[in-house]
Structures are given as structure tokens and as C-alpha cells.
Structure 1
């Protein structure tokens, strides 16, 4: 009934069969060996409409499988699009590989992916569309940043772990045995940064990766880099380990119950732990950390590290000095933590008061925070913020509207003054260079060649000195401007519950005074003005 022509067409000898209609032909074709071929409905329908029908009617044709490859826009994947054969030839792996190469795929190809796509030729009906990823690029993998691995417990970590009593309560004054190390103890090791792994696209383009950031292991006092391993830090003395930037130090630790008239003032090269209180008029000076388990009343603590007061720091106006200044004074190179502050001068890098600050004078290099957790709700009442980059509290000021002054980014005034001095010096240097240029022009008219050469050499040396000075001043001006911009961009006052009236806010050289109470808000410098922004839920 049907026969295959050399061009792949399926022919029907209509004279022998004399089909009654198109449906008859299609049904007969479906029962034949050519059932998978593509039916030529146009040819069949034309046959029944023609006055002079053909003797051999084209009823179908064989169509080979088709494969195309599409590369994603980011070139990180190549997808094969397959149309299964309609009675025609299937695509072989070799043919498919040629299509893949022609599409521009050169990396990330896996034959197993391709085989999964081509296998669908045996599983899906003829003429079915099927897709599958046959190549994947590899994203770059950045290297890991160098990491510090501590091998001992530092004093600061130990003080976060108070001892549990038998009745389940916590003894906030007992932190167990003091952590100490012996000479040669491994304190900390450095896990080196790793190199980044280069990536690639399916078209073969390389994608560069970033190596991990590294740093130098810092050997503080009482420590050294191990002679056998430059990635290890070991103790050289017996004492208590403390964290420093990218390393540790080991301090001799002085522990005392109370600092009072019986003990005298404490002046120590290492760290100091006071297990009870600091009495009025007493002083502690330490190159390391100072930790007070109890409270400090009208005392003075000066630390080269951190200060941690588990209870309150309480002072009053200095009556012996006509109420000028405060009788409680805390100054640290590092951070200061205390539960409550009242009439105290507090100066440090970051200052944290857990509950409330009453009439304190605060000077923080970076952050001053009143309250705990991520959204502090402590109260900041009265006193004066002498300098800070950021202040965060729950309530700032008081309902009574008592005057309070907050100075943020006050260091910017010092930077501006230093900038003015640099500009003045640069002007003077420029004037010197102009004078030297005039001297060169005069020396050029000297007829004595030897004398002329001596003058030129002397003037040239002086000119080089002032050129180097001018370049140094310009670099310093650029650095000062960068520091000032960075300071102002990150300066902010945040009140998580209320900002009351009577609060005078200074940011750099701008001033704003609240005349009413505000709901949760923040204050920052915007377009050289102090703007109040209210929080939204």
C-alpha cells in the first residue's frame, strides 16, 4: 500500500487502493510501518480536491531528529534542545558533539549530560521536544580569610561565665579559678588565608577569583611567634592571656578584694581584678584590663586595656573644686562596660552602660550605648556627651526638659583645624618655591660658570626639599579630608523610645536643639544640616 521514496517521502498508490477520504488514508498510515512519520495533510487534502489526482500520493515524510544548543546569557550553562525524529534518523553522540562545538561550548561539557538528553529519543514519542543542560560553567570561589584560632581562655571570656551555685542561682563575684598560662603555652594559631579558585564559562572564558584577606599575627607583651611555626603564638611568661588586635598578650594579673585606704592605690603593669569594690578617693592604674566585680564610688580607674565594672560607677560634683568636674573618673584605651553610671567622667573607645546614665560626662572614640541587646532601651539623662561618633539609647533627655548637650564627631573640629594648618603651611611652601624660582632666574645671569653651577646646585637642593614638603602636605590634606568624610558619614544619634526636649545636639560644627519630645528617631548630618528622621514600623 505504502512505499518509501529515495527522498524520504512516503507514497501511496491511490489507483490500487482508491481511498474514500483523507481520514481513511491517515488511519491506514497509523497502522503501517510508517506510523511515526510526519503526515502531509496538505498533500492528502489537495488530492481529494483535485480534478486530476496524482497516481502516487505523498502522504507522509521521514524527518530526522533535530538538536540545537543554547548558551545562557551569563555563559554559565549550555542547554541542548532536542526534537525527536518523526520516522527519520536519530542523532548520534558524534553528531551531537559537532553541534555543541559549533555552538561555541568548550568547557564544562559532560558526556553523561548529553547521553541523558539523547536517551530521550528512545523514550519519548516522535516529534517531542526535550531539553537538558549539557555543560555548566564554574563560578569563581573566593579564598577564605585568614582566621585566628584561640587555644586558651582569656580573662575577658572567663568573666562572661559566672559560677553556678548549688541552688541554681549565679554568683556574679565568683568566676572560678583565674585563667593562667605557663611560658611556652600555645596561645593562638593562625589559619592562613586560602587562594581563590578561578571559575570559567562554558565558552572557555576565565572568571577571576579573589584571594582571602590575610593579616600578620600580632605578638603582644609576654608572647612571641613560635620559632618552629610562624603561624603559632606562644607565651614567654606566666600570667593571664588577653585578646589584642590579631593576637594576644600575657599579663601578670593582680587580684585584690577591696581597693580602699587599707590597700592603698593600685598601680600595676598588668591587669587588675577587684573582687569587691573601689572606695571613694582610691585610684587604680593598670597597663592591662581593670575588672571590678562590685562598684566604684568616687574613684579613678586608668586602663591601657578595657574597664569592666559589674555594678555601678557613682560620683558627685567635685565640691572641693567649686563643683567643677566629677569625682568618679574612668579612662580606658579600650572599651568600658558598666551597669549604671552617675556623675562620672567616662572616656574610652566604645562605652556601654547597661541600664542608665545620669549626669555623666562621656567621651567615646566610637560608640556610646545605653541599654543592652540589639535595640538598646536604656536611659541617658543629663550630663554631657563630650565626643562620640554614634550614640544609641532608649530615652535621651528627660520629661522635665532639663538642658543636655550631646557633641558628635567633635573630632571633626580638630581635623578641620589641622587642615587649616596644612593649607597655611602649603601656601608658605608655595611662596618659598616661587622665591627659589626667582633665584634660579638670577643665578642664570651669573657669568662665572663655576659660581653659577654652585648656586644652581644649592638652589636646586633647596627646591627639591620644598617640593617634597609640598607633596607631603598635599597627601596629608587628602588623608584629612578622607578621615573627615568617613567620620561624618558614620555619625548618628539614635533614640529607640524617645528624644526629649531641651537636648542640644552638635554634629561637627552644626547645632540643633529639640523644642519638644520626639518619638523613636535618629539624628544625622544631611546636606550639612542636622536632620531628624523618625522610625517606621
Structure 2
């Protein structure tokens, strides 16, 4: 049996040394040696496993030999200081600290932690409370036990919000969906209310400016830039001006009908006509047109603002730089070939209750509240065929194209009427534009770096600050740098928005039927095409990996 006096500290007090005479103390076992290390003065030391095994091997080998009379010493345990292990996440947004309790060595103090943090470059988002809590836990740990905790968090950059423009007055097209309520609570579908008019000094629009966002940082102190929100210009049109006290407010300067433009509003004079017929003649007016009756066969109406028809449009041509709103029906017939007798062309939205055998083209949206029959409809936005309740709205026959999606209560008919619907056909164009933005961004970045390099090569300011020519050159270089930075920021913001649209293109733009899609409906979404062979219930139809997918569980 090994006695305690055989184990002692080395001269530097860092190791536990075991001194044995093989012929006297051998043979020995690892268990006996480890038992010695349980003595109070040695039980906090770290056992050196390979040295213990060597001691057993050497002592036992010499126990029965003459050479075994010589003392053998082995360092079987050592003091180990506490360890600090720091790890950062792959994105450098989080730092974790692990402290391993000391084996009879030096414990960890706050200055040790701070030294290690500085050495690893971890400087931001630190929690002193968590660090101090860990140091308290370490004090009660057994030798070699550890405690871990996240002690630093980075801060993600917060991108700016995009500018928004809020309209504060109604438009003529909105009257179609809001007929007047009678005193008894019923609705008068023939009375759509008075003409929407504004007076001087009325507030038309309010712009909520874009924000710059706030920068973030990693735990290593690296700055994470924020993307500024995309600005939207608020432009004063005819009959309006920006409020001198607040350029984010658009104010009417004259009385008239408000018309939405691409970047603001204008207030139009309103030409009021009872009927547009042979007796009145064709109409072309700079402003908005209100027709309280009908537009009759063969007539043409053109407006630089909105066109509102309270009655019917029959085999006529309407063109508007604003919206076209027909309170009742749009009626046409087939001419030779694929020509239709009625044409409605609008830069804004086209709205009607009923449309048949007509050609509709809108740079915005098309809204039909009851039926869209055997027509050619082309919208750069959406096509909606539905009333406000979602119970009625039939899209039957003809061709309907809407880049940003089609929603109808029913598409097709029980009689298997051939109906073609298209949406989301411009992905390749968007990808090409994204590529051009990427290339433009790279060119601007090169130009920015070149300008910055030329500025850095300037001699010290005191050498040229009194040279007016040099001062002007420096001002021009700084102005150019600022211009490039602004343009680069705009392109990066546009690229970011476009990249998100491209990435979720077929999630954003799809075809929806609230009740039915009947057979013989040919559906085109991007390159995916399918002609229905049976009736489908309420569903959304998406382009999923190049094939059409009917989703019956994703109904709104």
C-alpha cells in the first residue's frame, strides 16, 4: 500500500510528484496512485493520465530487479489555471464564453475576462451582468467543471422604411363600389352619389417620408450598414401645389375633380354631359369628364383626366389619362376577325359593373363587379371580377391578362366556354432589369472608389486652401462623390426591392377563384400552361417549379 509521504509537491509547487522505490513499493496499480490524489492537499489537481500509466509500467517492470532499488519520481498531477474559451457565431452576431474551473490553479477574475475579450476583438453588445453571474458560478464549481453563456449580442441593421403617399380624398372610381344608402337602409344601385369634388385649400395627399434606417454592429465591432428606404416623389399637378409650410402635403388650389397621377394628384375642371351621341358629337377635353347618361354607338371620348359614365357605354371608344369608371355596363360586339366594337384605354384603373365583347387596356387595374364576358382585358396590375361580398363575379370567355394576378368568383362556365387567363408573364424581363441594376451598381461603386482615391491623393489642405482653382476642383470632386453615393443608394434600394419581387414572383402573382374554375379554361402563369379538364372548387393556382399547382387550402 502506498503511503501519503510518497507524494509531495514539486519545488515549483506546480506538480504532485510521486517518489517510489520499485523493489520496495512495487508492484503498484493505477487505482492506488489515484487514491493518493484524493488526499486533501492534492485532490484539486489535474491527474496526468499518461504519467500515471508510465509510473505503473516502470515500477512494475523493475520491482523484481536489482535496478529497482533506485528511486523513481513521476509527476502524476498538476495545477491548471481556469480556462476562458470564447466563440463567435458564424455571422459574428453572438459571442459565447465558457469558463472551465481551475484544477488547483489560478481562478478567473473580471480583468482576465476583459483581457481575453480584447484579445479576441469582442467589443460590442457585451453584458457585464452575465459575465459577473458566470464568475460567481465558477466559484462553486468542482475542478474541471464548466459554465457557458452568451455574453454578447450584435445588433442587426434596421433598414429604412419606404416612403408612402396617403390619399386624403376619394376618387370617382370608388363610387362604383359605394352606392348610396336610402333612408330605410336599402341601397340604391342607380344613385352613386354626387360627383367627387374638392375646394381650394383642401388636403389631397400626405407623404410619409422614407427613413434612413439605423446601422447595426457585430460583436467584433464591425458596422452593419442599413439600406435607406426608397423615396417617392410627391409632385404637384395642375390645380394643386405643395404646402409651403410642409412640402409633404399636397393642397388643392382650385375647385374641381381630384385625379390621381403617377406621383401625386391634379384637380381637373369637370365637363358635365348628359349623353354622348351623334347629336352631341365626339368629346375631347383637357380635364375630367362626367357623363350622366350613356356613351352611344360609334362615339369617342378622350380626356386628360378621369372619365366617369353614369349609364352605359355601347360600341364606343373611351381613352383617359386617369381612370375610366362606368357605373352600369360596357357593351360591344364582335367585328371582323378578333376586333371588338368597344375599346376602353386608361392610364389609371378601369371599373365597371358589367362588360361584354369589349377591349379593355389599363396601365393599372381592372375591376368588374358583376360579369366580364367574351372580352379582351389587359392590365399591368390586377384584374378583379367580384362584388364586395365575394359572392358574385363571373369571368367568362375571351382573354384576360393581368401581370400581377387575377381574382374572380368564377372563371369559365358550366357550358365549357373557352376562356384564356394569363398572369405573371414578365419574370425574364425583371431578371434582365435586375442584372442591369447589378451591373450599374458595380460601375457606380468603381466610380465612387476612384473619386475617393483621388481625394486621398490630395496634398494637405493647408497647401491648397488659398488656391481658388484648387478649391473649386475639390468642391467638384466632393459634389461628384456625393452624387455617386446618392445614385448608388437609389440603385441598391431599387435592386433590393426588385430582387425580393423576383425571388417571390410566383408567390405574389397568381390566379384565384373564390368558387369555381370550370373546364376548358386555359391558364397561363409564366411558362406554365394547362387547360382544365374538370371543374375545380375554390382555389389559388400558382406556378410551382414550372408547373401549375391548384391549392385548395390557401383560400382567403
Change (3 A) 1:293 1:120: farther
Match of 1:225 among 242, 248, 253: 242
Change (3 A) 1:272 1:125: farther
Deviations 1:89-115 (A, max 9, x none): 211222222222222435444544433
Match of 2:520 in 1: 500
Q: How far off its partner does 1:144 sit?
A: 2.2
- Counterpart contact for 1:147–1:192, Cα < 8 Å: yes
Deviations 1:345-398 (A, max 9, x none): 4343343434433343x363636736349x99965555577x986885764699
Work out whether 1:216 is the aligned partner of 2:233: yes
Change (3 A) 1:221 1:139: same
Superposition pairs of residues 409-420 of structure 1, within 5 angstroms: none
Match of 1:312 among 329, 332, 351: 329
Match of 2:137 in 1: 120
Match of 1:446 in 2: none
Change (3 A) 1:331 1:104: closer
Q: How far off its partner does 1:287 sit?
A: 3.5
Superposition pairs of residues 191-340 of structure 1, within 5 angstroms: 191-253=208-270, 259=275, 269-272=286-289, 278=294, 280-281=296-297, 286-292=303-309, 295-297=312-314, 301-316=318-333, 328-340=342-354
Change (3 A) 1:129 1:176: farther
Change (3 A) 1:401 1:160: closer
Q: How far off its partner does 1:65 sit?
A: 0.5
Change (3 A) 1:406 1:159: closer
Secondary structure, counterpart of 2:158 in structure 1: coil
Change (3 A) 1:381 1:223: same
Match of 2:14 among 1, 8, 12: 8
Superposition pairs of residues 25-174 of structure 1, within 5 angstroms: 32=40, 35-39=43-47, 46=55, 50=60, 51=63, 60-157=77-174, 160-164=177-181, 169-173=186-190
**Unaligned runs of at least 5 residues, structure 2:** 426-501, 552-556
- Counterpart contact for 2:260–2:322, Cα < 8 Å: no
Q: Distance in 2 between matches of 1:24 and 1:80?
A: 37
Change (3 A) 1:396 1:92: same
Q: Distance in 2 between matches of 1:42 and 1:534?
A: 67
Match of 2:371 in 1: 356
Q: Distance in 1 between matches of 2:51 and 2:338?
A: 110
* TM-score normalised per structure 1: 0.61
Secondary structure, counterpart of 1:230 in structure 2: strand
Q: Distance in 1 between matches of 2:236 and 2:392?
A: 39
Deviations 1:423-460 (A, max 9, x none): xxxxxxxxxxxxxxxxxxxxxxxxxxxxxxxxxxxxxx
Q: How far off its partner does 1:237 sit?
A: 0.8
Size of the aligned set, in residue pairs, is: 436
Match of 2:207 in 1: 190
- Please, what is the CA RMSD of the aligned residues? 5.4
Q: How far off its partner does 1:86 sit?
A: 2.4
Q: How far off its partner does 1:173 sit?
A: 4.8
Q: How far off its partner does 1:223 sit?
A: 0.4
Q: Distance in 1 between matches of 2:523 and 2:15?
A: 94
Change (3 A) 1:41 1:185: same
Deviations 1:249-301 (A, max 9, x none): 22345678x648899677765445567x5274577654332344554455654
Match of 2:475 in 1: none
Change (3 A) 1:180 1:125: farther
Q: Distance in 1 between matches of 2:347 and 2:369?
A: 20
Q: How far off its partner does 1:409 sit?
A: 12
Q: Distance in 2 between matches of 1:79 and 1:499?
A: 61
- Counterpart contact for 2:216–2:225, Cα < 8 Å: yes
Deviations 1:137-161 (A, max 9, x none): 3333322222223444444456544
Secondary structure, counterpart of 1:117 in structure 2: helix
- Counterpart contact for 2:127–2:152, Cα < 8 Å: yes
Change (3 A) 1:197 1:376: farther
Deviations 1:225-265 (A, max 9, x none): 22333332211112343322221222345678x64889967
Secondary structure, counterpart of 2:241 in structure 1: strand
Q: Distance in 2 between matches of 1:140 and 1:279?
A: 57
Secondary structure, counterpart of 2:134 in structure 1: helix
Superposition pairs of residues 385-400 of structure 1, within 5 angstroms: 392=406, 395=411
Q: Distance in 1 between matches of 2:42 and 2:251?
A: 84
Q: How far off its partner does 1:193 sit?
A: 2.3
- Which of 304-313 and 100-109 deviates more? 100-109
Work out whether 1:366 is the aligned partner of 2:383: no
Change (3 A) 1:86 1:172: farther
Secondary structure, counterpart of 2:206 in structure 1: strand
Q: Distance in 2 between matches of 1:389 and 1:9?
A: 79
